[in-house]
Amino acid sequence: MKKKYNSADIGKFIFVIGIIVYFMNRSSGNMGYNWQWYRIPQYIFTFDSGRFIPGLLFKGLGVTLQITGISLILAFIFGLTTAFLRLSDSLIGRITSRLYLEIIRNTPLLVQLFFIYFVLGPILDLSRFTSAVLALSLFEGAYASEIFRAGIVSIHQGQWEASYSLGLNTFQTYFHVILPQAIRRILPPLTSQAISLIKDSALVSTIAIYDLTMQGQAIISETFLTFELWFTIAGIYLLITIPLSLSVNLMEKYFRVDI
């Protein structure tokens, strides 16, 4: 369905933007803050006689991407496994998955991160990177599992019966019948979860991992370019998360065409 816009709508839009710009101007005028944007580029990257030199923020971005990349895959695995266990006939499976879900979902990520790094870390000999990835993927995996479960149970019971009567076993039914249909329904909430993971990864700075946020904090502590740097960091997070949203939009369209 194509949406139509009329001139009144556009007028309202411009009005709202106008108000926002007015307030931003006013507050920055009142703040008496001395903006020094010209000191920022050196922290992103510079060119020295044609050679690319990554700045501290650029290196931090690398660490953030590494952590979120691995955590995304792990969270996906944790989530799917937990969802299957919760829907399985095994009592132990159901209890453990339920326990995992409730503990993780009802405690703050920061506490989990500190617990894994400072308490479990020395016992299990976890490195700082492993602790960070583990905490993030366990946390997001719990949320992902509920999304998976909701998607799976939303598929009509008749599909199961039909599959079984065709002689498919449970695994084949999941793989060929249920999941392909469920994926379409769970893609939007799953994308939100992935984006949350990227933003939540900023918390790993608290255990001194030099990700994007930590690099920013370290630079701020030396230069006091507080607002310039935080805005730059927010911009860089946007640069990663927006393409992710857009690519999932494309995927949604692709899956729709498929049926």
Partner 1 sequence: MKKKSLFLQILVTIMVLFFLAGSSYAGEIQNKLVSESTIEQVLKRGVLRVGMSTFVPWAMKDKKGELIGFEIDVAKKLAQDMGVKIEFVPTKWAGIIPALLTGKFDVIIGGMGITPQRSLKVNFTVPYEYSGMSIVAHKETAKGFSAIEDFNKPEVTIASRLGSTAAEAAKKYMPKANHRMFDDEAQAYQELLNGKAHAVVGSAPTPVFHAIKNPEKLFIPLKETFAKEAIGFAVRKGDFDTLNYFNSWILVHHSSGWLKEREHYWFETKDWESQVQ
CB 101 within 8 A of CB 146: yes
Among candidates 153, 150, 144, which has minimal Cα distance to 101? 144
Smaller CB separation from partner 1, 77 or 119: 119
Establish if 155 lies at the interface with partner 1 (CB under 8 A): no
| The only residue of 220, 240, 248, 251 in contact with partner 1, by rule CB under 8 A | 220
27-66 residues near partner 1, rule: CB under 8 A: 31-33
Residue with tokens 């326990």: 99
CB 161 within 8 A of CB 177: no
Establish if 23 lies at the interface with partner 1 (CB under 8 A): no
CA distances from 214 to 60, 103, 110, 169, 226 (A): 8, 28, 15, 49, 13
CB 224 within 8 A of CB 65: no
User: How far apart are CB 136 and partner 1 at their closest, in Å?
Assistant: 18
Establish if 187 lies at the interface with partner 1 (CB under 8 A): no
Establish if 131 lies at the interface with partner 1 (CB under 8 A): no
Establish if 223 lies at the interface with partner 1 (CB under 8 A): yes
Per-residue DSSP letter, 70:
H
Establish if 254 lies at the interface with partner 1 (CB under 8 A): no
What residues line the site for partner 1 (CB under 8 A)?
Answer: 31-33, 114, 118, 121-122, 128, 205-208, 217-218, 220-224, 226-227
